[in-house]
Amino acid sequence: MKKLFVLLLFFIALGILLAGKFYFWSVAEGPGEEEVHVVIPKGANFNLVAAKLEENGVIDKQWLLKIAARILGSDKTLKAGEYLFEPKVSILDVLKKISSGDIYYRRLTLPEGLTTTQMLDLIAAEAGLSGEISLLPKEGDLLPETYTFSFGDSRDSMVLQAMQAMEKVKKEAWASRAENLPIKSPEEMMVLASVIEKETGLPEERGLVAAVFVNRLQKGMKLQTDPSVIYALTMGKKELGRSLTRKDLEVDSPYNTYKYYGLPPMPICNPGKDSIMAAVHPEESKYLYFVASGNGGHNFATSLAEHNLNVKRWIKSKAKK
């Protein structure tokens, strides 16, 4: 009985020692030297996951991961998706991440001022998305924004996300519009916003640029905006790749605001939220003209004579550069 008791104590001590060692291995730093992305496909069994994690250098003890997962029940709560593992991540933290579904969300930025064709090209080129684009958004239907998505999400889902976001912004902007604007519908608001977006990239100028176009519309003046002519020449399918010429300003297109009065028939790009809000909340101003200042902004004028002086300053500044 004494020997049996000693043997029992030995095995208890050995068990405690092994449990301690097991725990130490589970919480110890892993072998990874850098961040690693691992995609766990739907329907994958835990053996495949363990092998994939070891293959990517996240762990170096498959057997330990499997035992820990079995003890904790993590092998039954495995969630598919893309995971980002930090350097030196422990086996215990690996299990917590994949069993809780702490998946990695990718980001895709659709910049302000791009045409729908250009935005769809960005979505089509995103390697983390799947499938072809079957949706056909019109110009001005996609909100410029940074969107998150999971690896393998469809490209159509990204297009739909951008369309729904734009629809929400349009409704909010139109509902908050100022009184006595020369735009009669949300569609006209988007056309004006797209012109504002293409004319300036400076946030502090959007309200003034909007004021110029609103003032010209109210006075029955042609908008005479270069970006609309560029769109008439390219229809948003490509970059013009050169400066406009006098001959370009004569192109017979409803988008040519040097030839036709009023707004173009459709937006000429996808404007951002700030440009949309500027279209319905222009600054109070009597400005009717603006031209590049040569330092990234614009010089504004209330009369043609003042505008011509600003044009001469811009030409002189351009010549110096």
Rounded to an integer, what distance in angstroms lies between the CA atom of residue 306 and that of residue 303? 5
Rounded to an integer, what distance in angstroms lies between the CA atom of residue 288 and that of residue 208? 10
User: What is the pLDDT, as a whole number, of residue 63?
Assistant: 82
pLDDT one-digit tens code per residue, 190-242? 999 999 999 998 999 999 999 999 999 999 999 999 999 999 999 999 999 89
- Element (DSSP H or E) covering residue 109: strand 105-110
Q: What 3-state DSSP class applies to 218?
A: helix
302 close to 286: Cβ distance less than 8 angstroms: yes
Going 14 to 15 to 21 to 25, the CA torsion angle's sign is: positive
Q: Which domains does the chain have, with CATH numbers?
A: 27-100 (3.30.1490.480), 107-167 (no CATH), 180-320 (no CATH)
Listed in sequence order, the residues at least 6 apart from 47 whose beta carbon sits closer than 8 Å to its beta carbon are 66
Mean pLDDT over 9-13 rounds to 51
Put residue 316 in one of left, alpha, beta given phi > 0 → left and psi -120 to 50 → alpha. Answer: alpha
User: What is the pLDDT, as a whole number, of residue 22?
Assistant: 55
Q: What 3-state DSSP class applies to 146?
A: strand
User: What is the pLDDT, as a whole number, of residue 7?
Assistant: 53
pLDDT one-digit tens code per residue, 168-186? 999 999 999 999 999 999 9
User: What is the pLDDT, as a whole number, of residue 183?
Assistant: 95
Please identify which residue in the block is written with the tokens 């399918």: 237
pLDDT above 60 for 8: no
Per-residue b or e along 248-280, where b marks 16 or more CB atoms closer than 10 Å to that residue's CB? beeeebebbbbbbeebbebbbbbbbbbbbbbbb
Identity of residue 299: N
Among 22, 80, 89, 70, CA closest to 49: 80
| 71 phi and psi angles, rounded to 5 deg | -65, -45
pLDDT above 70 for 16: no
pLDDT bin (cut points 50, 70, 90) of residue 6 is: low
User: What is the pLDDT, as a whole number, of residue 286?
Assistant: 95
pLDDT one-digit tens code per residue, 253-295? 999 999 999 999 999 999 999 999 999 999 999 999 999 887 7
CA angle at 19 for the pair 14 and 24, rounded to the nearest 5°: 125
pLDDT above 50 for 311: yes
**125 DSSP 8-state letter:** H
pTM of the predicted structure, to 2 decimals: 0.84
pLDDT one-digit tens code per residue, 102-154? 899 999 999 999 999 999 999 999 999 999 999 999 999 999 999 999 999 99
pLDDT bin (cut points 50, 70, 90) of residue 14 is: very low
Rounded to an integer, what distance in angstroms lies between the CA atom of residue 109 and that of residue 96? 30
pLDDT over 70 percentage in the chain: 91
User: What is the pLDDT, as a whole number, of residue 145?
Assistant: 97
